Amino acid sequence: MAFQIPKAVTPQEVAEQIQKGKSLNVLDVRELAEWVEGHVEGAKHIPLGQLIERHKELDRGQEFIIMCRSGNRSGLACELLYEKGYKVVNMTGGLTVWNSVLVRD
Please, are residues 78 and 61 in contact by the beta-carbon 8 Å criterion? no
In a domain, 80, yes or no: yes
Output the pLDDT for position 101: 74
Q: pLDDT at residue 22 above 90? A: yes
Residue-range definition of the domain harbouring residue 15: 8-101
Output the pLDDT for position 2: 54
Q: Where residue 20 sits, what CATH number does that domain have?
A: 3.40.250.10
Please say whether the dihedral angle defined by the alpha carbons of residues 87, 101, 97 and 45, taken in this order, is positive or negative: negative
Please, are residues 28 and 44 in contact by the beta-carbon 8 Å criterion? yes
Radius of gyration of the chain (CA): 13
In a domain, 71, yes or no: yes
Annotated active-site positions, please? 68
In a domain, 52, yes or no: yes
In a domain, 3, yes or no: no
**What average pLDDT does the segment 27-36 reach?**
97
Burial 57-75 (b: 16+ CB within 10 A, else e): ebeeeeebbbbbbebebbb
Neighbours of 30 (CB within 10 A): 24
In a domain, 96, yes or no: yes
Please, are residues 29 and 68 in contact by the beta-carbon 8 Å criterion? yes
Model pTM?
A: 0.90
Please, are residues 30 and 77 in contact by the beta-carbon 8 Å criterion? no
Q: State the total domains in the chain.
A: 1
Cα separation, 67 vs 75, in Å, equals 8
**What average pLDDT does the segment 86-91 reach?**
96
